[in-house]
Structure 1
Amino acid sequence: MGPCSGPSSALQRAHAAGLTVVAFTNGDEEQQRAKLARTGLADAVDHLIASSTLSVGKPDPRAFAEAIDLLGVAPAEALMVGDSLEIDARGALAAGLDAVLLDRNGAHPDLGAEVPRIRSLDELRW
């Protein structure tokens, strides 16, 4: 499997399911656009939202609220999939979004029902 076959496959499946794919990052927008282009994922992402364009960054619930407002959806219509328990998953939950933790290395085996956990993007189901 190549370095982006997992993300690329997951993004293709999301699009096939009629979902909008958003990259939501605490990174600088210009740097993140370059990263998406470099990894071949730019065309698979419908929107990029970087905290450099928001009033606050993740995990602040206001960052998630601003992102949701930009997208014109309700929190209940969004799912945050991220690799940081605190910044992505718990931040999203605090803002009223559903969240899934991408725990590739099994660092959080004891989460229980608090946050659904996957080891690979291939495990995402809609």
Structure 2
Amino acid sequence: MIPWTTFIDPEVARVGLNEQEAIDKGIDFEVTRYDFKELDRASAAKGFIKVITPKGKDKILGVTIVAEHAGDLMSDFVLAMKHGLGLNKILGTIRTYPTWAEGNKYVAGEWKRNHAPDTVLNWLEKYHTWRRG
């Protein structure tokens, strides 16, 4: 888990695997991406966070961040990878608002939304519709 950052404008930071390395290792993976243009603190900024996880799991295999402060933002992911914490733990961490670090939480939220249990959500929607009359 050795991260690196190239201090250009914008910064480029990475830890773990990228897509090509995951393909070369035969890992069945998925990519979750969050664009900083949606972040309140950085709405005028360009950049993104891209997280690679095994298909259907929140374990972090690799992260690439291209944005202002990318090197600073990487620490959450390095810590999570070192201690076997997944995106659900990052999502559950409270951050100061509005800060760039909220982007880490939001990329975890994107992963969570993409893995919402549709069957349960459909059942709950029908139940609440019935309860409201």
Provide TM-score, normalisation by structure 1: 0.30
More strand by share: 2
